[in-house]
Amino acid sequence: MKFLALTAALLVTPGVVHAQEGECADGLCGAPEPEHNGGGECANGLCGTPNPEINGGAPCVGEHSTVTISADGDAFMRNRAANRNEGSSEFVFVRANAPGNNLSRGLVRFDTDSIEDALDGGTLVSATMAAHLEFLSRGGWGARGRAVNLHSLDQNWVEGNGRRFEYGPGERASGGRGVTWNCSVDRNIGNNRRNCGVQRRWGGGFFDPAASAAATIVRRQRGAVEWDVTADVDAYLGGGDNNGWLVKKAAETNGGLVYFVSSDDASGDGPALTLTYLPDGVGGICPGAGGGDVGPNVFVSSAPTDLGDKYMYSDDYDEDGFEDDFDNCPFANNIDQADRDADGLGDVCDTCFRVFNPNQLDADDDGTGDACDPDADGDGIENETDNCHLVANPSQLDSDLDKLGNACDLDDDGDGFADLVDQCPLVATAENTLEDIADTSRCDTDLDRDGLPDAIDNCQGISNSDQVDLDVDGVGDACDSDMDGDGINNLTDNCARVGNEGQLDGDRDGLGDFCDPSFCFVIGEGSCLDPNAPFTVLAGETLRVRTGETVRLRIFANRENAAMHYSWVVTDSPSGSSAVPAHAVGPVTLSTPYEYHYLKDRVASFTADEPGTYRLRLSTELAFADAQGKSVAVTDLTVIAEGESTNTGGCATVGGSSSATFAGLLMLLGLAVIRRR
């Protein structure tokens, strides 16, 4: 048995009505009633007869069919990890950045044989590739959106089994072949080296510079993104090369990153190709049949919302009245949304709220961004006089006196030989030999006394004999402000040792999904909902209000979109109070994700009339038996009121009789439930 919850909404979907061959009924094509065919006219008294005035002269016969197939391969490549394969990652990651030196591009392919099998001899009408957008960065998408393009690839590639970017070091490629930034087919993806063999190094892909298709992505977008790839798929079916598509931002120097769900994700929302076709033996589609274009999918809500009708049920993590998708500090309450430096981050969560710094870089992890930190690396030397202002080097050693400290100078002695290959990194030599150096002890130093010469020490100012460097960026973890290399400083990274640029945190516990061993959706301080536990409800944290102030009573449950009945009662109140909840009983069915939404005009609320402490009890009962057997749950809510008495006497109401409300519940459930036997 499955349950389908109702919402007060109108859903309009696009469609084309196709005339069926046969006689006309009442002057209408295909059926005796207008609503069955859109009221389309007949041509010459017979349905399906060509008529230029009605259908442009195309034969009006048969309905088209659609079929959707999954990708045969997908992956992504990063130029900062040019020898790593991400063929088994749960995301297809696309990234652009302003300097253009930190790029990521996606790869998607649908095998021609799979396409032909899906069409089963039919004639292709259109082809649409869709990818599910899971996460989008705040910056880099402009006021009107930016294009993400598909480009036909000129060389074949192998998906591979690598899985490293958003996982820890234990989730490496096991070996074998796979695509990397350097190689379309790296022969050994397990050794983190370039193994292209006889193939040319393809440097992020050999692709047609003219985009096959483009899709505009706008700020805060989620869900399906679609590209029209009809021309390419038609070419594949005609015998053209099919190496799939490269997915990249059209302007790769504008910044911005996007995660698309890959075919390796358990959700099943990986890249898909939808083919519209005429089955074998059926003629062309009748353009315009059915009385006109209906337009794109439209969802129109009839209920009031926080920020407009289209977003009634969006989340508001910090409860500041701004939905997370529109909140410039989604995890910090800031009802004023102040953003003095106009960098897209609210002042209360901006590491430099007076200086434009959308990247929020913070080299010393002190909570003050580099853009406004007078000592960005925290070594006690102010930036103006620090010869390595982003690398801690309190000694300020500068062997070649080039005003660049040894800690950030790749050639400490200035002899033209990089320190990593220089046999005497601190003494200049013409031939890079030790023959002319009388005292070779001068060749290097060990400032942090960890037993490693500074020339090869990946953290010269902090002792780290183990030289651990998680993100392999040449800076040891002991002094790396971003150990996992995901662009998020350790201080604010919710998985400091696991790359997760998206910072996804589904249960809101402050620990990112990629390193969180368990899921328990946080509801206030010290409380959370475990979806795998028996049926449980919570009402949120203690409310502090003024007398006369009306507050919404919240319902949280560890079941999503489950039909249930609720009731609110006051179990304790200050002397003289007659306050009771409004709309205290009723049904709910819709949640996002674990907070339930009341029916329109039936929002349960409470108004304290006397100063003091109130205790409210929420009782809930599932409409249908729970899989774990428990169908009833109860929780308490504390309300503390301050101010003067507003009690004027008289009788209070609870917003309607319980019998009438229960009848409404039965009606709702009767409409909202579909039983499948």
Give 355-389 pLDDT, tens digit per residue.
Answer: 998 888 888 777 788 899 888 888 889 999 999 98
Give the pLDDT confidence of 396-427 residue by residue, as tens digits.
Answer: 988 889 999 888 888 888 888 887 777 787 88
What whole-number distance in Å separates Cα of residue 305 and Cα of residue 432?
71
What pLDDT does 288 receive? 35
Cβ neighbors of 485 (< 8 A, separation 6 or more) are 80, 470, 471, 472, 473, 499
What pLDDT does 11 receive? 27
Alpha-carbon torsion 45, 46, 49, 52, what sign? Answer: positive
Instruction: Report CA-CA distances (Å) from 105 to 98, 302, 312, 501.
Output: 15, 41, 35, 15
DSSP state of 348: G
Alpha-carbon torsion 401, 404, 408, 409, what sign? Answer: negative
Helix (H) or strand (E) holding 106: strand 104-109
Structure tokens at 502: 């998206």
Helix (H) or strand (E) holding 660: helix 658-672
Residue 267: Cβ within 10 Å count: 10
Q: Strand, coil or helix: what is 647?
A: coil
Partnered with residue 225 across adjacent β-strands are 131
What count of Cα atoms within 13 Å lies in the side-chain half-sphere of residue 135? 17
What pLDDT does 298 receive? 25
Partnered with residue 620 across adjacent β-strands are 566, 633
- Identify the burial level of 659 via C-beta atoms within 10 angstroms of its C-beta, where 0-12 means exposed, 13-18 middle and 19 or more buried: exposed
Q: Name the stretches of the chain with pLDDT < 70.
A: 1-63, 98-100, 143, 164-174, 281-315, 317, 319, 436, 438, 440, 649-677
What whole-number distance in Å separates Cα of residue 672 and Cα of residue 654?
25
What pLDDT does 111 receive? 94
- C-beta of residue 441 within 8 angstroms of C-beta of residue 447: no
DSSP state of 466: T
Cβ neighbors of 438 (< 8 A, separation 6 or more) are none
Question: Any alpha helices (H) in 373-442, and if so which ranges?
Answer: none
Structure tokens at 136: 């989008």
Phi first, then psi, for residue 664 (nearest 5°) are -65, -40
Q: List for the chain the helix, strand, coil content (%; round to 5).
A: 10, 25, 70
What whole-number distance in Å separates Cα of residue 39 and Cα of residue 33?
8
Q: Chain centroid to CA 643: how far?
A: 44
What pLDDT does 619 receive? 97
3-class secondary structure for 576-613? CCCCCCECCEEEECEECCCEEECCCCCCCEEECCCCEE
What pLDDT does 137 receive? 80
What whole-number distance in Å separates Cα of residue 367 and Cα of residue 647?
48
What pLDDT does 645 receive? 94
3-class secondary structure for 221-261? CCEEEEEECHHHHHHHHCCCCCCCEEEEECCCCCCEEEEEE
Cβ neighbors of 616 (< 8 A, separation 6 or more) are 539, 553, 568, 569, 570, 571, 581, 606, 636, 637, 638, 639
What pLDDT does 491 receive? 80
Interstrand relation of 543-546 and 632-642 (parallel, antiparallel or unpaired): parallel
- Identify the burial level of 652 via C-beta atoms within 10 angstroms of its C-beta, where 0-12 means exposed, 13-18 middle and 19 or more buried: middle
Q: Strand, coil or helix: what is 80?
A: helix
What whole-number distance in Å separates Cα of residue 263 and Cα of residue 75?
9
Q: What domains lie within the chain, and their CATH numbers?
A: 68-278 (no CATH), 377-480 (4.10.1080), 528-674 (2.60.40.10)
- C-beta of residue 645 within 8 angstroms of C-beta of residue 609: yes
- Judge if the upstream peptide bond of residue 587 is cis by omega within 30 degrees of 0: no
Please report the DSSP string for 9-62 in residue order: EEEE------PPSEE-BTTBSSSSSHHHHTTPBPBTTEET---HHHHTT----S
Query: ∠ CA(474), CA(476), CA(481), 5° rounding?
Result: 100
What pLDDT does 173 receive? 53
What whole-number distance in Å separates Cα of residue 554 and Cα of residue 532?
21
Instruction: Report CA-CA distances (Å) from 650 to 29, 373, 382.
Output: 67, 61, 69
